[in-house]
A and B are shown apart, each in its own frame.
Chain A
Amino acid sequence: MVLDKKLTVSASPHVRSSVTTTGIMLDVIIAMIPALIAAVVFFGPRVLGLTAVTVITAVLSEYVSRKAMKRHGTLGDLSAVVTGMLLAFNLPATMPFWMAAIGSVVAIVVVKQFFGGIGMNYVNPALIGRIVLFVSFPTAMTNWVAAGAWHKGGVDTITTATPMAQLKEVFTGGNFDKIGEIVEPGLGEMLMGKHGASLGEVCAIALIIGGLYLLIRGVISPIIPLTYVGSVALIMLVAGRGNLQFVAYQVLGGGLLLGAIFMATDYTTSPVNPKGKVIFAIGCGVLTSVIRLYGNIPEGVSFAIIIMNILVPHIENITTPKPFGTPKEEKAAKEGDK
Chain B
Amino acid sequence: MSKKVLSGILRPAARVKGGVPVAHKKNTAELPVERMPAPESVVIPMLQHIGAHCVPRVKRGDKVAVGQLIADSDKYVSAPIHATISGTVNKIGETVLPHGVIVPSILIESDGEMRLFEGLEPPKVNNKEDFIQAVRQSGLVGLGGAGFPTHVKLNIPADKEVDTLVINVAECEPFITVDYRESMENSWDILSGVYTIKEFLGLKNVIIAVEDNKPDALAELKKIADAQSNLDGGVKVMALKSRYPQGAEKMLVLAATGRKVPPGKLPADIGCLVMNVATVAFIARYLKSGKPLVSRSLTVDGSAVANPKNVRVALGTNIGDIFDFCGGFKVEPYKIITGGPMMGLAIIGTDLPVIKQNNALLALDQKAYKFKKERDCIRCGRCVTACPMGLMPALIARYAEADEAHKLEHTGVTVCMECGSCAYDCPSAIPLVQHMRLAKSKLAAYKAKQ
Binds A, one of B51-59, B63-71, B155-163, B385-393: B385-393
* B304 nearest CB across to chain A (Å): 10
Query: CA–CA, A320 to B437, complex, Å?
Result: 21
> Are B378 and A1 in contact (CB-based, < 8 A)?
no
Most buried by B among A14, A20, A119: A14
Within 8 A of B (CB), among A6-49: 6-21, 23-24
The verdict on A310 contacting chain B, using a C-beta distance below 8 Å, is no
> Are A15 and B341 in contact (CB-based, < 8 A)?
yes
Q: What number of A-B contacts does a CB cutoff of 8 Å give?
A: 163
> Are B335 and A14 in contact (CB-based, < 8 A)?
yes
User: Chain A residue with minimal CB distance to B22?
Assistant: A15
Query: CA–CA, A131 to B372, complex, Å?
Result: 36
* B268 nearest CB across to chain A (Å): 14
* B441 nearest CB across to chain A (Å): 13
> Are A323 and B391 in contact (CB-based, < 8 A)?
yes
Query: CA–CA, A76 to B418, complex, Å?
Result: 30
Bitwise interface map of B from 159 to 181 toward A, beta carbon under 8 Å scored 1, else 0: 00000000000000010000000
> Are B424 and A13 in contact (CB-based, < 8 A)?
yes
* A183 nearest CB across to chain B (Å): 39
The verdict on A166 contacting chain B, using a C-beta distance below 8 Å, is no
Contacts of B263 in A (CB 8 A): 323-326
Contacts of A11 in B (CB 8 A): 423, 431, 433-434, 437
* B222 nearest CB across to chain A (Å): 30
Q: Is the interface of B mostly helix, strand, loop or mixed?
A: loop
Binds B, one of A139-147, A265-273, A286-294: A265-273
> Are A7 and B334 in contact (CB-based, < 8 A)?
yes
Contacts of B431 in A (CB 8 A): 10-11
Contact of A119 among B328, B347, B348, B377 (CB under 8 A): B377
Query: CA–CA, A23 to B320, complex, Å?
Result: 39
The verdict on A322 contacting chain B, using a C-beta distance below 8 Å, is yes
Contact of B372 among A2, A16, A320, A325 (CB under 8 A): A16
> Are A325 and B262 in contact (CB-based, < 8 A)?
yes
> Are B390 and A13 in contact (CB-based, < 8 A)?
no
Contacts of A18 in B (CB 8 A): 370
Contacts of B92 in A (CB 8 A): none
User: Chain B residue with minimal CB distance to A20?
Assistant: B427
> Are A322 and B412 in contact (CB-based, < 8 A)?
yes
> Are A325 and B265 in contact (CB-based, < 8 A)?
yes
> Are B349 and A6 in contact (CB-based, < 8 A)?
yes
Contacts of A3 in B (CB 8 A): 320, 333, 349-350
The verdict on A74 contacting chain B, using a C-beta distance below 8 Å, is yes
The verdict on A77 contacting chain B, using a C-beta distance below 8 Å, is yes
* A140 nearest CB across to chain B (Å): 32
> Are A272 and B342 in contact (CB-based, < 8 A)?
no
> Are A324 and B348 in contact (CB-based, < 8 A)?
no
> Are B174 and A268 in contact (CB-based, < 8 A)?
no
Query: CA–CA, A97 to B320, complex, Å?
Result: 66
Contact of B376 among A20, A119, A325 (CB under 8 A): A119
The verdict on B373 contacting chain A, using a C-beta distance below 8 Å, is yes
* A61 nearest CB across to chain B (Å): 17
> Are A12 and B343 in contact (CB-based, < 8 A)?
yes
> Are B389 and A323 in contact (CB-based, < 8 A)?
yes
> Are A323 and B412 in contact (CB-based, < 8 A)?
yes
The verdict on A117 contacting chain B, using a C-beta distance below 8 Å, is yes
The verdict on B261 contacting chain A, using a C-beta distance below 8 Å, is yes
The verdict on B351 contacting chain A, using a C-beta distance below 8 Å, is yes
> Are B20 and A117 in contact (CB-based, < 8 A)?
no
The verdict on B76 contacting chain A, using a C-beta distance below 8 Å, is no
**Contact A13 to B260, CB < 8 A, known contacts A6-B348, A7-B335:** no
> Are B424 and A10 in contact (CB-based, < 8 A)?
no
> Are A1 and B380 in contact (CB-based, < 8 A)?
no
The verdict on A307 contacting chain B, using a C-beta distance below 8 Å, is no
Within 8 A of B (CB), among A164-185: none
* A263 nearest CB across to chain B (Å): 15
> Are A325 and B384 in contact (CB-based, < 8 A)?
no
The verdict on A321 contacting chain B, using a C-beta distance below 8 Å, is yes
> Are B341 and A321 in contact (CB-based, < 8 A)?
no
> Are B323 and A2 in contact (CB-based, < 8 A)?
no
Contacts of A322 in B (CB 8 A): 390, 412
Contacts of B343 in A (CB 8 A): 12-13
The verdict on A336 contacting chain B, using a C-beta distance below 8 Å, is no
Contacts of B334 in A (CB 8 A): 7-8
Query: CA–CA, A8 to B323, complex, Å?
Result: 17
The verdict on B324 contacting chain A, using a C-beta distance below 8 Å, is yes
Query: CA–CA, A94 to B437, complex, Å?
Result: 55
Report 10 cross-chain contacts, Cβ distance below 8 Å, ordered by A residue: A7-B347, A14-B346, A15-B23, A16-B423, A17-B20, A24-B380, A267-B378, A267-B380, A323-B412, A324-B261
Interface residues of A (CB under 8 A from B): 1-3, 6-21, 23-24, 74, 76-77, 79, 117-120, 267-268, 272-273, 320-327
